[in-house]
Amino acid sequence: APSSHDVVPKALESSDLFLYMGHGAGETFYRSEHVRSLNKCAVSLLMGCSSGLLKENGDFDPFGTSLNYLLA
């Protein structure tokens, strides 16, 4: 059976809409840094605790999973 590390990127690249509901932002299944490198990314709704949380980065821009999906 295919692992979630194979299923998630295929779903993101081949679907129009991707919906995640669960803990966090699904990074245990597929790291958000990899989302940015996809050729195509479905419109994604991340509905998990802290999925929209941005982390402070001092004098630099904050970062987080939701920004990686927006950039994809």
Each residue's pLDDT tens digit, 40-65: 999 999 998 888 889 999 999 999 99
Has residue 1 got a pLDDT over 70?
Answer: no
Two tokens, residue 20: 């995640």
- Integer Rg of the chain from CA: 12
Two tokens, residue 33: 């840094």
What is the spatial distance between Cα 40 and Cα 56, in angstroms, rounded to a whole number?
A: 28
Phi first, then psi: give them for residue 21, nearest 5 degrees: -130, 115
Q: DSSP 3-state assignment of 12?
A: helix
Two tokens, residue 31: 């790291």
Q: What is the pLDDT of residue 44?
A: 94
Active site members = 49
* pLDDT top residue among 59 and 5: 59
Q: What is the pLDDT of residue 63?
A: 92
